[in-house]
Amino acid sequence: MSVNSITLVGRAGRDPEVRYFESGSVVANLTIAVNRRSREDEPDWFNLEIWGKQAQVAADYVKKGSLIGITGSFKIDTWSDRSSGQTRQKPVVRVDRLELLGSKRDSEANTTGSNNYASGGPTSEEIPF
């Protein structure tokens, strides 16, 4: 038996790069930063490839810093470098399911670039106690 499954929760490292094809297909590519258990460790970065309706959801709702969860499979993209002719490889997670985990307030803060305290202070929902 063989299994190729990956589940990640993290923050988008950049806005999705979206491409539309004449066939009607759509693909979105972005990165995700996943924190380790220890705060001192650097996050792990993963390249994501999302196709179809999930790609359109990513294009419409995912922005840099958005909290997302994904499930998918791991693959290696291979190509020939145009300038040197050498074979190149890049690990990619092909996403089967995309979950938008952030709140509406998080997405509004990401699109406006402002912090939640610009209106005079934290709300009662933002206070951790």
pTM over 0.85: no
Q: What is the pLDDT of residues 5-17, one digit of tens each?
A: 999 999 999 999 9
CATH 3.40.190.10 fits 6-110, yes or no: no
What are the domain boundaries of the chain? 6-110
Helix (H, G, I), strand (E, B) or coil at 66: coil
What's the pLDDT at 111?
54
Q: What is the pLDDT of residues 80-97, one digit of tens each?
A: 988 888 999 999 999 999
Give, in order, the Cα–Cα distances in Å from 44 to each of 31, 47, 58. 10, 10, 20
Q: In the chain, pLDDT over 90 holds for what percent of residues?
A: 66
